[in-house]
Amino acid sequence: MIQFDNIPRSKLPDLLRKAPKAELHIHIEGSLEPELIFKLAQRNGVALAYPNVEALRAAYAFTDLQSFLDIYYAGASVLLKEEDFFDMAWAYFERAAADNIVRAELFFDPQTHTARGVDTGIVIRGLHRACQRAQSELRISADLILCFLRHLSEEEAFATLEAALPYRELFIGVGLDSSEQGHPPEKFERVFAKCAELGLHLVAHAGEEGPPDYVRSALDVLKVERIDHGVRSLEDPALVARLARERIPLTVCPLSNIKLCVFPDLSHHNLPKLLDAGLCAMLNSDDPAYFGGYLNDNLVQTFEALPQLGARQAYQVLRNSFEASFVPAERKQAWISQLDTLFDRVSAS
């Protein structure tokens, strides 16, 4: 038994940084730092609307999801060749290793690239090669989840799936991202049913800017296994009870929520309430280059801002990250055992 009460809050930042963890909600295009955007722009001869790295970084002062998406798509415009996708993912994996991430499930948006004439195979092969190298050189277990852009049509989602099918073995699931408001899960019912038939894991963004009803229809209509964000679920007690009962994971992204004004600041984040309600919530970085921090930044800053969170909750979010990951049960258990050993040692010291 871990003696959580023996671990003072002052030890949490170090413990959170050191602990093994899984990241389940990271858009790989959202890990593009301005420096890499400029390097790739130069390599590919792409003209950017910003004169230098500082000007681009300054433009990251967006105020809502739509203005963020505008600059996000501008950044992605430098990605043209397989090597570019490899370099982007590899830069993330090096940061992930420094954060002691041992499992990463990377979202990628083929439509952001096919819209610019980049073939889906180029995207997937480049990212997959980085995943393989992460496993062999950094001991990070990594897989890809293909996301459909929800502001586009279901027909376009079907075309995206079709183009990705020759690479079916190189991704483990599908998700749904981009602007939530006005694009309910129901819009993608048929394409998700097709993906279920193909044996793909299913996840979807819901309850970030959209209402709790979107969380419910993501579960009932799309049949997803995890909800990305889902923080607005708390507005609906019956939904919260269901999420707890069915152990539906919520991939919560605190720094993203602040940057996109879902909460005014970290001290108002509802993570403590989600955990008190018994939900399988864990922390993630979403689009770390744009939202001001990678996974350890999210963990440390959130626990610092919320005095009601202690060692027990730190253990819980880390454990939840493994429980919610798409890997065999024995693999999860091995990571959870490492987590137990670490917390045991710290609580006994």
Retrieve residue 298's tokens: 């999210």
- Shortest distance, position 159 Cβ to Zn ion, whole Å: 22
Q: Which one, 103 or 229, has the nearer CB to Zn ion? A: 229
Q: Which one, 291 or 335, has the nearer CB to Zn ion? A: 291
Q: Please, are residues 292 and 286 in contact by the beta-carbon 8 Å criterion?
A: no
Known catalytic membership, residue 186:
no
- Shortest distance, position 230 Cβ to Zn ion, whole Å: 11
25 is in an annotated binding site: yes
Dihedral (CA of 7, 15, 297, 320) sign: negative
Distance of CA 45 to the CA centre of its chain: 30
- In angstroms, the CA 337 to CA 316 distance is 13
The residues, any chain, with a CB within 8 Å of residue 300's CB and separated by 6 or more, are 12, 13, 16, 17
Q: Which one, 216 or 226, has the nearer CB to Zn ion? A: 226
205 is in an annotated binding site: yes
Residues linked to residue 174 through DSSP beta bridges, in sequence order:
146, 202
- In angstroms, the CA 33 to CA 287 distance is 10
- Shortest distance, position 83 Cβ to Zn ion, whole Å: 25
Query: Where on the chain is the footprint of Zn ion (CB under 5 A)?
Result: 286
- In angstroms, the CA 197 to CA 94 distance is 35
Q: Which one, 143 or 286, has the nearer CB to Zn ion? A: 286
Q: Please, are residues 76 and 114 in contact by the beta-carbon 8 Å criterion?
A: no
- In angstroms, the CA 23 to CA 89 distance is 14
Which residue of the set 105, 208, 209, 323 is catalytic?
208
Q: Which one, 26 or 36, has the nearer CB to Zn ion? A: 26
Dihedral (CA of 161, 164, 168, 173) sign: negative
AA letter at 40: L
268 is in an annotated binding site: no
- Shortest distance, position 77 Cβ to Zn ion, whole Å: 20
- Shortest distance, position 92 Cβ to Zn ion, whole Å: 14
Per the listing, tokens 């993501």 go with 218
Which residue has the CB atom at the shortest distance from Zn ion? 286
List active site positions.
208
Annotated binding site for substrate: 287
Annotated binding site: 25, 27, 205, 286-287
